[in-house]
Amino acid sequence: MGVLDGKVAIVTGSARGIGRATAELLVGHGARVVVNDLDRDAAQEAADDIGGETTIFAGDLTKDGAPDALVAHAIDTWGQLDVVVNNAGYTLDAAAHRISDDWWQRMLDIHVTVPFRVLRAAAPHLREPAKRERAEGLEVFRKVVNVSSMSGTMGNAGQANYAAGKAAVVGLTKTLAKEWGQFKVNVNAVAFGWIETRLTAAKDAANVTEIDGQQVQLGIPEELREAAPLLVPLGRPGTPEEAAGAIFFLCSPWSNYVHGQTLHVTGGQLGGMTG
């Protein structure tokens, strides 16, 4: 038996990277998972590779109605919702004085507005069952994990827009933890440091994605990548599987008394500013 047998999870941005590793880990422990991505083919390929009980929802979650449709798809498919992992995101890096209004708004849209809309849509399916369970003397925990970043908790040069969105989702996490604790919905965040994904791969012509009809360059300069052993006491970036392990912990029964927290998964990365 898996520790998540009978549970239904949504993992946004789960065709690749941390999201895919998370979906695979959740399925491996018995959950039924909605795999989401902008690219339908990528989402289908991930779901096919993962196996288990999966379904896909393809589409841009920044579009009006898409978060509601995502949650409705989970409910229509399996009739319940127990876990929400808000992972979808990307970066548009530039010095603060060079960030356009469009680039600023895009980062807020994907990193805080989308999680808010997904959770607003999910709220009845997370809260209402808990009311019935409470009346019956039962205590059943449901889980929300919002993916933040060390950029959001400590800042990062060249990422004012991304850092603002990732900081905002921490505030959303703490607020919902206060509102939803009575319904036994654990709401936590994970702030990642250097994890090997498309966002931290080499910035070259091949590392691009298409969003809303525009090509978006992903990755970071090679000189920054080479600095990883100097910045991370463990001596290397983390893997998507290691990142997924932290998310899985916050989705598991072992985190039932962990609530309103931001778990830093950084390998001890240096360079933050703390009070």
Active site residues per annotation: 162
Residue 76 to residue 139: CA distance in whole angstroms: 25
What's the rounded Cα separation, in Å, for the pair 90 and 106? 10
Residue 40 tokens read as 């339908």
User: What are residue 176's phi and psi, to 5 degrees?
Assistant: -65, -30
Q: How buried is residue 208: exposed, middle or buried, by Cβ count under 10 Å (0-12/13-18/19+)? A: middle
Contact 274, 52 (CB under 8 A): no
> What is d(CA 82, CA 20) in angstroms, rounded to the nearest whole number?
18
Q: Which residue has the tokens 């604790």?
A: 181
Side-chain-facing half-sphere of 218: CA atoms under 13 Å: 14
